[in-house]
Amino acid sequence: MPARVQQHRGSAVAAELLLQQPETDRADPRPGADPERTGKTQFNGASEQLHVVERIRRTDAKTLLYRFTIEDPETWDRAWTGEYPWKATADQIYEYACHEGNYAMGGMLRGARQKEAEDAAKKQE
């Protein structure tokens, strides 16, 4: 795999998928990236002490719970955690985390809003 592709390690712990950020001090491999930033400090405000743990577990037949814990003693006074459920759906879903260069997303969203407006107009007829 190319060096610019960051690897993540995962392991199954009981009924939970555990993902831990790789320990890396290599430079951010993305084109145009600040050469002083590493795989950790590419996150605004983070230090080399950054540690991220992600957990995914099934809470019922149609729900996954995504939970993450962020630790960076040089940035925050204490670790912090967030979580949210991922509900099963028959609808189309789109990855929403990184769209810096995804120019098609605007068109997809406009098309979805247009379809919603057309569907609403049909209901009013």
* pLDDT tens digits for range 83-118: 999 999 998 877 666 656 667 778 888 999 999 999
* Better-scored residue on pLDDT, 5 or 40: 40
For the chain, domain boundaries = 9-88
Which tokens belong to 7?
A: 């690897």
What pLDDT band is residue 47 in, cutting at 50, 70 and 90?
A: confident
Size (the chain), residues: 125
Q: Which residue has the tokens 């098309």?
A: 111
Q: Distance between CA atoms of 39 and 50, rounded to whole angstroms? A: 10
Element (H, E) at 114: helix 104-124
pTM of the model: 0.55
Q: What 3-state DSSP class applies to 8?
A: coil
Confidence at residue 48, expressed as pLDDT on a 0 to 100 scale? 77
Which tokens belong to 4?
A: 């610019």
Interior CA angle at 85 toward 44 and 82, to 5°? 35
Element (H, E) at 56: strand 51-60
Res. 62: pLDDT tops 90: yes
